[in-house]
Structure 1
Amino acid sequence: MLSAKENFVRQGAVIALSFILIQQTDAICPKVSEFRKTLTKMITEKGEDSITKFGAILAQGVMDAGGRNVTISLHNRNGHPDMQSVVGTFVFLQYWYWHSLAHFSSLAFKPTCLIGLNLNLEVSYIFWFDFSRSCISPKIPSNNRF
């Protein structure tokens, strides 16, 4: 679909792929870096249509959202639908009608990083065990604290 003739199809394809690939990293899925190169090519090419460029810019923004430390989720931790995320996603889907609605996609983002605060909202000591492969997660200092 990325090589379709219709500009609207390519725009929708890059945005949909960014919603899927936001959950992956370069170490887990090599297609992520290939897709990022495709987005950069779409944005920088002079012959590319403005509709496709806008879709590629939105897709790149979604993939880099939150410093690459967020994912898209329509449910809360308990598994129930999160109405704020659902409404934000559905309003975002109307971006083609009015471009300012694209900002609503941020309502569906949930953090994926480890945030360790105590009851006073101060950074505290954190101890954990990391059983993931070393190629997936970065090396943590040996004392496991910040």
Structure 2
Amino acid sequence: MKTTATITGIHHLALQANDFSATSAFYEALGLVPFHSWSLPEFNITHAALLKIPGTDSYIEIFDKDAQVAAQGRRRNTGETPVTGALLHLALTVMDVDAAYEHALSLGATSCIAPNDLSLGYPPVKVRNALVYGLDGEVIEFITALER
């Protein structure tokens, strides 16, 4: 008998921060809410936290720079161009792409792709999106559906 997983959502995306406090403050300023924090000395984790996306059961998990956790690729070094790997970006649904983009830039993010409208596939799905590099080099996409 074949068994399949029943996926019900995405629980969290984890980041390893060069500056735990700054990264936490960045995501809180974007609207995420502190949910839980901890340390695990056996994994060299001094600071870890879950920040909740309001109205969902989804989180961003942040680890300090010395945490020894499973990772995809390698972390960006301070001042280095963002490093690429299989995980491409974190996409956040927002009400106003332009406002989210400008707000992220005001918090220290850097521009990747300015706000623009896209028509994807056929029948077309129309979206507005923008991308920024977060404080640790992670790519954050802000997206909203325009029409379907």
Query: TM-score, normalised on structure 1?
Result: 0.21
Q: Which has the higher strand share?
A: 2
Q: Which has the higher helix share?
A: 1
Q: Which has the larger radius of gyration?
A: 1
